[in-house]
A and B are shown apart, each in its own frame.
Chain A
Amino acid sequence: MRGIVFTLLVDMLEEQQGLAFLNSVLAEADLPSGGAYTSGGNYELSELNEILSCLERRLEIPVEFLLRNYGEYMLLRLAIMFPGFFEVDNLKTFLLSIDRRIHVELRKLYPDSSLPSFNYQDRGENGLTIDYRSSKKLCFLAEGLIEGAAKHFNSECSLIHSTCMHRGDDNCTFELEFYERTE
């Protein structure tokens, strides 16, 4: 798994929970890397799972919520790090560009990365269905990323996670409805 997933998680924990908390989580997780992550490196998925289990125990927050929260944080950081990917008009266009453009660019940067696949079903101006497939089954992280994107584009959307690999389905399905912002 790409190091950036870990470096941003470590940043988030340090910013939101403090350095002492981060140190103790990384020490408790007893990670092969020692938690010394770098964005260019590759690390085992099991290290992420160890950290999440540790956080679940300590914060008493289920892993899926932690991942959603992290996904949102991650997207807002990625928007700062890679502004070119976000130079589109709206949330839906951005989501449609993930597989066709962003993943293509990421493969250039990280040729050995295994990225999730997204299949889209465009349901008109206000509707989009995304089929998510990944051996890592990080669908809750994907949910958080979509929510983070909605924030970035100052958009409102509803997300129904109608099928899920964690419930034995072949893939996860995100059914999205986009709304005009009413504030």
Chain B
Amino acid sequence: MSEQSEFEVAYRREKTARHAAEAILEEKTRELHRLNEVLVEANATLMAQQEQLVQTEKLASLGSLSAGIAHEINNPLAFVTSNINALNKYAEMYIGLTTLLVAVDEPLPLAIANKLKEIQESKRDIGYVVNDTRLIFTEVQSGLERVRDIVASLKTFARTNPGDRADVDINQAIHDALKILDNELKYKCTMDVQLKPLPPIYCNISEVGQIFINIIMNACHAIGAEGTIKIRSNYGDDIRVSIEDNGKGIPDDILPQIFDPFFTNKPLGEGTGLGLSVSHGIVENLGGRIKVESKVGVGTRFTLIFPIEQRVEARQ
């Protein structure tokens, strides 16, 4: 065989080898791409789980802190409330007495008559003091009720005891919440509720009701003058309830904080910032989770996911 022929044989062999190498490279590249996709997905899952873990840890530590605060506030709150109620009754008696005294026609001893005249001519006459006293009591009692509600929410947030659990129809809890909120919703929200029959879950109905009250109330607040709240329920591997509004939406930068206790973007005095953190705690205790999707100017959708198969220990 000539030298040229030898080279031709070698060339053909090398060409075949090159084609084989190219095929291997292509296959490996495809495999690498696939593995990279798996890795990206695993990374995203890991990040989400890490975020969830941080949130859980944060809520767990805040839960024990809240339990302590709630306990400490509850005792003085009880006697302050009781004393204010008693003081209110006594004040009413004094007001009655003063009114009678002013209305007396009979001549009074001179010293008393002068003192009474002095009081009546002071900057704040008796009528103003009476009215203001009543207003002050009303405001103080309203403030105390608000503190009591916050403490009650804190206790729910810190709750470790599952409480009175039973087989609950989630749709019933939604209907109950809508009944309670009817007054708030009827003037500005069009309700679009489509609930499919659901299997029962083992939980505390008042806790679950509280979740729906919190989220529906938030949806109502997010809606300006008027809007629509869509509520859907269905089930497959788990029970899903979505509550969607076409309100102002939640900005991306505050979305990660909405489940933080005491976080609120409502005007001062209008929100405790505990509603969503309490809801989050309740859903987590049931082994579920809450998903939030929101776009500013478009609206927000909360999806509550409850496992159907309740853990055996939850039933014990």
CA distance A37 to B14 in the complex (A): 8
Is B24 in contact with A34, judged by CB distance below 8 angstroms? no
Chain A residues in 8 Å Cβ range of B24? 38, 40-41
The answer to whether B1 has its CB under 8 Å from any CB of chain A is: yes
Interface residues on A, range: 10 to 19
B1-19 contacts to A, CB under 8 A, are 1, 3, 6-7, 9-10, 13-18
Residues in B148-164 with C-beta less than 8 Å from chain A: none
Inter-subunit contact B6/A23 (CB<8 Å): yes
Q: Which chain B residue lies CB-closest to A7?
A: B17
Let me know if B28 and A22 touch, CB within 8 A.
no
With CB as the reference atom, state the residue of chain B lying closest to A40.
B24
- Which A residues touch B18, using CB under 8 A? 38
Chain A hits for B10, CB < 8 A:
14, 19, 22-23
Is the pair A41, B13 in contact by a Cβ cutoff of 8 Å? Answer: no
Return the chain A residue nearest B9 by Cβ.
A23
Residues of chain B within 8 A of A26, CB atoms compared: 13
CB of A127 within 8 Å of the partner chain? no
- CB-based contact B6/A36 at 8 Å: no
**CA of A26 to CA of B12 in the docked complex: distance in angstroms?**
13
Which residues, 1 to 42 on A, are CB-close (under 8 Å) to B?
7, 14, 19-20, 22-23, 26-27, 34-41
Q: Indicate with 1 or 0, residue by residue over A40-57, a CB within 8 angstroms of chain B CB atoms.
A: 110000000000000000
State A130–B17 Cα separation when bound (angstroms). 36
Q: Closest chain A residue to B7 by CB distance?
A: A19
Is A38 in contact with B17, judged by CB distance below 8 angstroms?
yes
CB contact under 8 A between A36 and B1, given known A20-B6, A22-B10, A23-B6: no
Q: How many whole Å from B30's CB to the nearest CB in chain A?
A: 14
Q: Bound complex: CA of A141 vs CA of B17, how far in Å?
A: 24
What residue in chain B is nearest A22 (Cβ atoms)?
Answer: B10
Cβ contact within 8 Å between A20 and B1: yes
Q: Which chain B residues lie closer than 8 Å to A23 at the CB level?
A: 1, 6, 9-10, 13
Contacts of A36 in B (CB 8 A): 13-17, 20
Within the complex, the shortest CB–CB distance from A51 to chain B, in Å, comes to 13
List of 4 A-B pairs having minimum Cβ-Cβ separation, nearest first: A36-B16, A38-B21, A36-B17, A40-B24
A interface vs B, CB < 8 Å?
7, 14, 19-20, 22-23, 26-27, 34-41
A-B contact pairs, 25 of them (CB 8 A): A7-B17, A14-B10, A19-B6, A20-B1, A20-B3, A20-B6, A23-B1, A23-B6, A23-B13, A26-B13, A27-B9, A34-B13, A34-B16, A35-B13, A36-B14, A36-B20, A37-B17, A38-B17, A38-B18, A38-B21, A38-B24, A40-B21, A40-B24, A40-B25, A41-B20
Interface, chain B (partner A; CB < 8 A): 1, 3, 6-7, 9-10, 13-18, 20-21, 24-25, 28
